[in-house]
Structure 1
Amino acid sequence: MANSATAARRSAIYLLDQVLGEGRLLSECLAAGALDRLGPEDRARAQRLASETLRGLERADRLLDNHLNRTPALTVHNALRLGTVELCNGEAAHGVVNSMVEIISRSRKHGRLKGLVNAVLRKVAAEGPEAWPKMRVPRLPDWLRDPLTMAWGADAVAGMEQAHFAGAPLDLTLKPGATNPSGDVLATGSFRLQDAGQVSTLPGYKAGDWWVQDAAAALPVRVLAPKAGENVLDLCAAPGGKTMQLAVAGADVTALDVSEARMERVRENLQRTGLTAKVIVGDALEHEGQYDAILLDAPCSATGTIRRHPDLPFAKDGSEFGGLIELQTQMLAHAWGLLKPGGRLVYCTCSLLPDEGEVQIEEALEMYPDMSVDRDAVNIAGVDTDWMTEEGGLRLRPDYWADQGGMDGFYIACLNKSA
């Protein structure tokens, strides 16, 4: 057990090195096989430890600053950070300290610092658990906090940061008639599990009764309201949650995404759930055809998903925002050309930035005379009227449903094309 725990911690430190040193997202590291040598439980543990450390990084660094004369090499620093987070969240000091000392002692570059690791973590074990809950909720970096504060106000951003720090429960979308695996039913129809454990072991997983999908991410398809027999295009479809929602409704679904690896996951999910869709790997800007309805989940900053992806604020710096906003404009324009007269298109992004949501729709309405916003489409079960925006869309934020575990940040609008 001790060796297994140490292996998971060593892998978690590697993940932290990649995020904080190389600017890589955890998803990129996992896709590249960073945890493939570990068994399923240790893979889950390594990923959890890395995520928890990133969520609590500000607190960990403040505690460590009291015991460090200068910042050590990144790997050693990350071992100390990980150890600090574990100690302050109730892990036994003996196991944590010994693991971190062993990991650093086996490093050719940093082995000489094992004594430092031992001394610092023992001090943290004595003082940290009491100090930890008294510290402020970790804040977003300024490159993201500043524009969000400008858009939503300081109180709202503080609420988002609280949601990010708390992390996210597991939300499921169930097939009609499937049994709820002991979760709470949310107002919008999703099922929420607070302590889910390993997803593949939950009742109904192998039978394909449900799929993992944040409650906010499940709403765009409900806004689109697909009908049986409709020819529907799911643009930027991976990982496939919305594709499966469309298929369950009986639509004739075409799922398109540029990534072969991500589309393989869509195929696997469709097979597991017994649902059918036409899966195409290709560039959305080059796709041709005519459709009754289109769902465009446009590439975006993903700033609405930080409660589930705490690596994002550390791996990015906002420099890609301009390019993403331009791409969204191009994709919306192309998708509009693929929509039949009298059809409808749902545009959505998992972003908290108005430039990727509200502003895109305001500008599109000025550009396309045959476009109108369907305000009634967003008025669906469980949606608070306070979430509805001036131009007719839906704005979701992590600080909503705070007492239930929050939700991802999303923007959603339904656009009708005149006949």
Structure 2
Amino acid sequence: MAETRDSLSARKGALRLMAHVLRDGRMLGDGASGLDGPDAARALRLAGLALRHMGRADAMLKAAMDRQPAARIRDILRLALAEIHADGAAPHGVVNDAVALARMSPKTAKQAGLVNAVLRKLAEDRAGWEALPPPSLPPWLRAPLHKAWGGARLAAIEAAHVAGAPLDLTPKPGVTVEGAEVLPTGSLRLPGGQVSALPGYAEGDWWVQDAAAAIPVRLLGDVAGLRVLDLCAAPGGKTMQLAAAGAQVTALDLSEGRLRRLRANLERTGLAAEIVVADALDWTPEEPFDAVLLDAPCTATGTIRRHPDLPHLRAARDVETLTRLQYKLIDRALGFVRPGGRLVFCTCSLLPVEGEHQVSAALKRHPGLVAHAPDPVALGLPAEAASDHGLRLLPDLWPERGGMDGFYMAVLTVPEAGA
């Protein structure tokens, strides 16, 4: 790999993004505003690579060093090891840039020699890297997942997280993209690439959406002409699906900032929806809807393969806060559905407490409410996706195709008036 001054700039940006996550507790993408063009994309990719493989890098460093270095030096070493061993980058250029990064700060300049010595030694230990197990999820998440899915399934999920995610697109009806695999569910899959450079982007022929995230809308069936409410709608993938299928969509979200992205997506795709900025717990529609889709706020642990920063940002205390909110949102959303109408509830979480348990509890709270378990095979999914009252998707499904995000989803029908 040819190393240039641009490579040093991107690596410097990656270090800043890593600190943004590990020490400031903020999401990876939130720190990219000060980077421009290709440097921003490469810095994000490198930071994500380092976070994804941090467990392996730390294990190598612990065995090679008597004392843990300062935080910035540790991040420089983590980034370099991930590039060399996980990304296949040429060691010479990576080590040179790592030393240069250490020298940039007066606080770490004296440790540049340490960086050079450690990396030159560990860069040659490919076998040692490959012998290390995949990075484990944090204990607060690992324990409930082990209880829910068992040790073998947990190991497969962790392996899927390390492998990362391909690029999935949801096309408008009849649209194809050259070179993309058509998945059994109807999504298009590419190995990656710059999104805005792909054919059909400027024309608004498709939008980026993981294959798993595209399933909840399909659970509503034919929505042409129906009034559908998309709750917690930003950034708008499901809103666009509904609009493209002919629904009269109202998209509601609490965040005006996130809705700006939804508006931009609608403009690019030429699709239309009524947009409402409001808190779903306070807002009341003028009349009930034929259907409501609630993609509820959650830990987002089902998206770790695409967002390796999440394990470093979430904690056990978040689960209790979010499950309380989901409980309230389900009850509120059911009140927005006309008699005989449907609610699709979904979360991009791996935790049953944010999925299966929520639906079971809702059925007990609301007499007459009916859950309809979808047929996964009819939707193009593996039969094992069938779950209590709905569908359970995990990152290790479709390993031969590149996996999918973790999701739980269910269809609930509100009783008819007088029933």
Q: Where on the TM-score scale, by shorter chain, does this alignment land: which range?
A: over 0.9
Shift in Å, 1:376:
4.4
Matches within 5 A, 1:14-33: 14-30=16-32, 33=33
Asked whether 1:45 is paired with 2:42, we answer: yes
- Amino acid corresponding to residue 412 of structure 2 in structure 1: L
CA contact (8 A) 2:17 2:31 kept: yes
- Looking at structure 2, the residues matched to 316 and 68 of structure 1 have their Cα atoms a distance apart, in angstroms, of 29
CA contact (8 A) 1:223 1:377 kept: no
| Residues 15-62 of structure 1: per-residue CA shift (max 9 Å, x gap) | 1112122222213334xx2xx332x21111111111111111111111
- Looking at structure 1, the residues matched to 315 and 9 of structure 2 have their Cα atoms a distance apart, in angstroms, of 31
Q: Match of 2:46, SS? A: helix
| Residues 244-272 of structure 1: per-residue CA shift (max 9 Å, x gap) | 00000110000011111111000111111
Give the structure 1 partner of residue 9 of structure 2: 7
- Looking at structure 2, the residues matched to 74 and 385 of structure 1 have their Cα atoms a distance apart, in angstroms, of 46
- Looking at structure 2, the residues matched to 246 and 371 of structure 1 have their Cα atoms a distance apart, in angstroms, of 24
CA contact (8 A) 1:181 1:204 kept: no
- Looking at structure 2, the residues matched to 378 and 120 of structure 1 have their Cα atoms a distance apart, in angstroms, of 50
Shift in Å, 1:229:
1.4
Give the structure 2 partner of residue 203 of structure 1: 199
CA contact (8 A) 1:223 1:380 kept: no
Shift in Å, 1:92:
1.3
Give the structure 1 partner of residue 52 of structure 2: 55
CA contact (8 A) 1:378 1:393 kept: no
- Looking at structure 2, the residues matched to 381 and 328 of structure 1 have their Cα atoms a distance apart, in angstroms, of 26
CA contact (8 A) 2:374 2:390 kept: no
Give the structure 2 partner of residue 299 of structure 1: 297
- Looking at structure 2, the residues matched to 370 and 134 of structure 1 have their Cα atoms a distance apart, in angstroms, of 55
CA contact (8 A) 1:343 1:416 kept: yes
Matches within 5 A, 1:70-109: 70-88=67-85, 89-109=87-107
After TM superposition, the score normalised by the length of structure 2 is 0.95
Mean CA deviation greater in 66-75 or 147-156:
66-75
With over 3 angstroms needed to count, the CA separation of the structure-2 counterparts of 1:349 and 1:171, relative to structure 1, is same
| Residues 318-340 of structure 1: per-residue CA shift (max 9 Å, x gap) | 21110100000000001111111
- Looking at structure 2, the residues matched to 86 and 165 of structure 1 have their Cα atoms a distance apart, in angstroms, of 14
- Looking at structure 2, the residues matched to 305 and 350 of structure 1 have their Cα atoms a distance apart, in angstroms, of 7
CA contact (8 A) 1:226 1:293 kept: no
Q: Match of 1:19, SS? A: helix
Give the structure 1 partner of residue 214 of structure 2: 218
CA contact (8 A) 2:375 2:386 kept: no
CA contact (8 A) 1:231 1:292 kept: yes
- Looking at structure 2, the residues matched to 203 and 108 of structure 1 have their Cα atoms a distance apart, in angstroms, of 47
Shift in Å, 1:102:
1.1
Q: Match of 1:403, SS? A: coil
- Looking at structure 2, the residues matched to 281 and 181 of structure 1 have their Cα atoms a distance apart, in angstroms, of 37
Superposition RMSD in Å:
1.4
Matches within 5 A, 1:220-259: 220-259=216-255
Shift in Å, 1:380:
3.5
CA contact (8 A) 1:97 1:118 kept: yes
Matches within 5 A, 1:320-399: 320-376=318-374, 380-390=378-388, 392-399=389-396
- Amino acid corresponding to residue 200 of structure 1 in structure 2: S
| Residues 136-186 of structure 1: per-residue CA shift (max 9 Å, x gap) | 111111111111000111111000001000000001100012222311111
5+ residue gaps in structure 1?
A: none
CA contact (8 A) 2:56 2:132 kept: yes
- Looking at structure 1, the residues matched to 376 and 123 of structure 2 have their Cα atoms a distance apart, in angstroms, of 50
Q: How many residues align?
A: 411
Q: Match of 1:61, SS? A: helix
CA contact (8 A) 2:13 2:35 kept: no
Q: Match of 1:294, SS? A: strand
5+ residue gaps in structure 2?
A: none
After TM superposition, the score normalised by the length of structure 1 is 0.95
- Looking at structure 1, the residues matched to 374 and 166 of structure 2 have their Cα atoms a distance apart, in angstroms, of 30
CA contact (8 A) 2:252 2:277 kept: yes
Shift in Å, 1:282:
1.3
